[in-house]
Amino acid sequence: GESVGLHLPTLSVQEGDNSIINCAYSNSASDYFIWYKQESGKGPQFIIDIRSNMDKRQGQRVTVLLNKTVKHLSLQIAATQPGDSAVYFCADPHNQAGTALIFGKGTTLSVSS
Amino acid sequence: ETGVTQSPTHLIKTRGQQVTLRCSSQSGHNTVSWYQQALGQGPQFIFQYYREEENGRGNFPPRFSGLQFPNYSSELNVNALELDDSALYLCASSLGGLDSGEQYFGPGTRLTVT
């Protein structure tokens, strides 16, 4: 079956550094991806999404890159802050409404001051 | 805060019992999706309700069932609880439709089965 997976379960960075979280997917027909952030004790929070007709999309301090050739996407966080510490998931909606999400296991980002 | 609420926040049940979890969707949203998140894992899609009808289901047995009400709030029912059902149960609401990608998640209900 289709899957999405993150390359590293944990990532530790210093405050102010840039963070890069990677994700691979298996379904070449996937055309829409979403990144979520989950803080301890909370539900996942939407960060940014990207459709397959784009290679790059930028938000506030975040950038998502999509490489359809190798079925890989990454989330880049600029000037990482302690408040960015959380578990990050990439998700692939497997229905057209984009509401039945397939999540990977997540990468835990730890930011030290 | 997303405006999606879930109750209860924590729950302890015994194997074999039944449980009902509740979710109130964000105002104006007509779609509710339920997810199970085991410790250290990503959320797993259970099913989705759109305008009171089940609109998709993940790989979960029939003892996981649900309802959506006219006000679009929803319930998740689990019968014959098993130890492996211990998890965080998340609901997410959205507006539905082909262009809706953003779901708003509630804080979850932590279910412990002993």
Distance CA A111, CA B1 (A): 23
Of the candidates B33, B30, B28, which has an alpha carbon nearest to the alpha carbon of residue B6?
B33
The predicted pLDDT at position A2 comes to: 59
The predicted pLDDT at position A6 comes to: 63
Please state, as a whole number, how many other Cβ atoms lie within 10 Å of the Cβ of residue A3: 12
Chain A partners within 8 Å of B2 (Cβ): 43, 45
Give yes or no for residue A60 having a pLDDT over 50. Answer: yes
Chain A partners within 8 Å of B50 (Cβ): 97
Share of chain A above pLDDT 70, in %: 89
The predicted pLDDT at position B98 comes to: 41
CB contact under 8 A, A97 and B35: no
Chain B partners within 8 Å of A46 (Cβ): 102-104
Interchain contact B56–A (C-beta under 8 A):
yes
Contacts of A1 (CB under 8 A, 6+ apart): none
Of the candidates A23, A33, A36, A3, which has an alpha carbon nearest to the alpha carbon of residue A70?
A23
Q: Which helix (H) or strand (E) element contains residue A25?
A: strand A19-25
State the alpha helices, DSSP H only, in chain A: none
A99 phi/psi in degrees, rounded to 5: -115, 0
Pair of tokens at residue A66 = 């999509």
The predicted pLDDT at position B97 comes to: 45
**A27/A97: higher pLDDT:** A27
Give yes or no for residue A96 having a pLDDT over 60. Answer: no
Average per-residue pLDDT in chain A? 89
Give yes or no for residue A10 having a pLDDT over 60. Answer: yes
Side chain identity at residue A98, one-letter code: G
* pLDDT averaged per 10 residues in sequence order, chain B, 114 residues: 91 98 92 94 92 89 96 96 98 70 89 98
Rounded to the nearest 5 percent, the helix, strand and coil shares of chain A are 5, 55, 45
Side chain identity at residue A17, one-letter code: D
CB contact under 8 A, B105 and A44: yes
